[in-house]
A and B are shown apart, each in its own frame.
Chain A
Amino acid sequence: MLLQRIAAGDASAVALCLQQYGNLVWSTARRWSASSSDAEDAVQEIFIDLWKCAGRFDPEVASESTFVMMIARRRLIDRRRRRQIATEPLDDSNREDCASGDRDPGEFAEMCEEAAVASELLSELREDERKVLELSVHEGLSHQEISNRVGMPLGSVKTNIRRGLGRLRDRLTRLTAGAMRDQL
């Protein structure tokens, strides 16, 4: 595991980690940032966080890519909260690409086991439910922005997001518990 090597001080793992996750972090930062320069700052901070937090990575709890994404999202949420800026796309085409609602969630299952579980769950949802989660989780829109965009009552937006994440959380918990049982 790259993060475990980094935690042990193996500098050679840094380049590999960047190769593995650099594009993922960059594209995520772009979605959440108001400008390119803001995204660049965010990416720098995310990787510093990652180097510092590498020792906390536990492969029994989550895959490496999920951990990286969690650290990235945490930093991006923190930056947005601190700056109180509205997340705007870098340009309309980027937003359109990221928000395309006609994807087949089944295509997305290769990155890690947790993402596969998430894809499976998303495929079970109605289109509007999946869209709400995409706009919230993937694009970082506020509840109100989502409500305005999809024409869904604010309360329903919140409920859909909470319920969707809750269901996935439960499935991931079972996944982890099952993996641990298998090791016994």
Chain B
Amino acid sequence: MNDASSERRERLEMLLADEAVGHLSDEERGELNGLLAEFPDVDRESYQRAAAAMDLAFAEKVMEADLGQLPDSMRQSILDAAPEYLKTVNNSKPANGPEILTKAVGSARLAVPNRIPPSSNGSAKANLNSGESTVGLSSSNQNLDSDHQDEPVGQRTELLGDSGGDPWKWLGWAVATAAVFCLLLLNFPGLNFSGLNFSGQGFLGQGQQGDDTTVAIAGGDLLVTEASFQQRRSELLGRPSTKQIAWTPGPTPLDAEVSGDVVWNQAEQAGYMTFDGLPVNDPSVQQYQLWIIDPQRDQHPIDGGVFDIKTDGKVVVPIDAKLEVLDPKAFAITIEKPGGVVVSDQSQLPLLAPVE
């Protein structure tokens, strides 16, 4: 490990400690995700366990002093609600799908103003030359000379709030494009992309330099080898439980043809997005943002962070699952203002990968 690598490793340890006590800024969170991608051997939860153990040590005295008695009413309420979630745990999918899913997602809504007309050939299309459509992010991606390359991306943030809108526009589109996602929406008439406390800072932008790829991560450049990206994605693809989901055009396809996929391994909580043909974006104008729809994880879609496409051709963007993804039903890409949004109006939703 050279000096630069050692310094980055040390920085990673610092950020993990800060994360464990809940004091990471959005920018630092992006930096952390990038460093974790560079050092995949690091156990992200190790500092969280240390903080938990230390908290337990401090808490012992409090418990002895009888300062923390869970109210009986709350105890009963938790007991009453538990069977519903145990069913979910047991079956990995809800036994009474619609009922449980409805309960899980509550009153969400999805509205798609559909500013960009759908393409006629079924491929995702883009016209990013105009100000509104130009995408420009700072995220993690890199050129792909083959289908097996990867790199780090953004973080996820839970979403709250309600952007309003007409759910039935979205629903109609979803029915036509993705059966699974359609089912989701049917069961979650209020589903919306919304969020609070935006934190999905993009992470990496890429530029090819010989055998290495320079990855810009929230304030500094890292050097990430192509080989390591390729290897990690290939390894993930080789595992039996890994899912590979192709991107399909969203309700507002881009003019350019875009292909690619999402590779996701539930057990490892790791995944990669690949794109071929996703237009280069201008980060000062717009950025791409990933959303993960996971009703079992929470009733709100998850912000997967923003990212940039800096060169033409194939790129790969790692998905960093900071929070556990329990049962992802779909991955969606929107185009947002620089830095992303906490509440997406879905006015530009060019790509969707519904999990079968």
- Using a CB–CB cutoff of 8 Å, the interface residues on chain A facing chain B are 6-9, 11, 14-15, 18, 22-28, 30, 40, 43-44, 47-48, 51-56, 61-62, 65-67, 69-70, 72-74, 76-78, 80-84, 94, 97-98, 100, 103, 105, 107-112, 114-119, 121-122, 133-134, 136-138, 140, 142-143, 158, 161-162, 164-166, 168-169, 172-173
Contact = CB atoms under 8 A, between A and B. Distances in A.
Q: Is the interface on chain B under 10, 10 to 19, 20 to 34, or 35 or more residues?
A: 35 or more
Interface in B33-59: 45-59
B258 to A, nearest CB: 32
B289 interface: no
A72 B49 CA distance: 11
Contacts of A172: 46, 49-50, 53
25 contacts: A18-B70, A18-B75, A18-B79, A26-B68, A26-B71, A27-B68, A40-B71, A48-B85, A62-B52, A65-B56, A66-B56, A67-B52, A72-B52, A73-B48, A83-B197, A97-B62, A98-B62, A108-B61, A114-B52, A115-B56, A118-B57, A134-B58, A166-B13, A172-B50, A172-B53
Given A74-B323, A115-B60, A142-B23, 6 more contacts: A26-B69, A26-B71, A27-B68, A78-B158, A83-B197, A115-B57
B105 to A, nearest CB: 14
B89 A80 contact: no
Given A80-B22, A82-B160, A118-B53, A51 B82 contact: yes
A73 B55 contact: yes
Nearest to B58: A138
Contacts of A111: 56-57, 59-60
Interface in B66-120: 67-71, 74-75, 77-79, 81-83, 85-90
B70 A25 contact: yes
Contact of B78 (A7, A18, A83, A161): A18
Contacts of A53: 324
B89 A81 contact: no
Contacts of A8: 90
Contact of A169 (B50, B59, B88, B90): B50
Contact of A52 (B59, B61, B89): B89
B67 A82 contact: no
A146 B89 CA distance: 40
Nearest to B85: A51
Given A105-B57, A134-B58, A165-B47, A23 B63 contact: yes
Contacts of B20: 73, 165
Nearest to A23: B68
Contacts of B197: 81-84
A62 B88 CA distance: 24
A83 B21 CA distance: 16
B296 interface: yes
Interface string B315-351: 0000000011010000000000000000000000000
A54 B60 CA distance: 23
A56 B54 CA distance: 21
A48 B50 contact: no
Majority SS at the chain A contact face: helix
B89 A6 contact: yes
Contact of B74 (A43, A51, A82, A110): A43
Given A73-B52, A78-B158, A133-B54, A30 B46 contact: no
A172 B50 CA distance: 7
A23 B22 contact: no
A69 B56 contact: yes
B55 A22 contact: no
B65 A97 contact: yes
Contacts of A76: 22
Interface string B181-223: 0000000000000001101000000000000000000000000
Nearest to B76: A18
Given A105-B57, A115-B56, A137-B58, A9 B89 contact: yes
A28 B82 contact: no
Contact of A70 (B52, B67, B77): B52
Contacts of A97: 62, 65, 67
A143 to B, nearest CB: 6
A44 B77 CA distance: 8
A165 B51 contact: yes
B27 interface: no
B18 interface: yes
Contact of A140 (B14, B22, B57): B22
B17 interface: yes
Nearest to B26: A81
Most-contacted residue by chain A among B56, B65, B77, B78 (CB, 10 A):
B56
Nearest to A69: B52
A77 to B, nearest CB: 4
Contacts of A56: 324
A85 B323 CA distance: 21
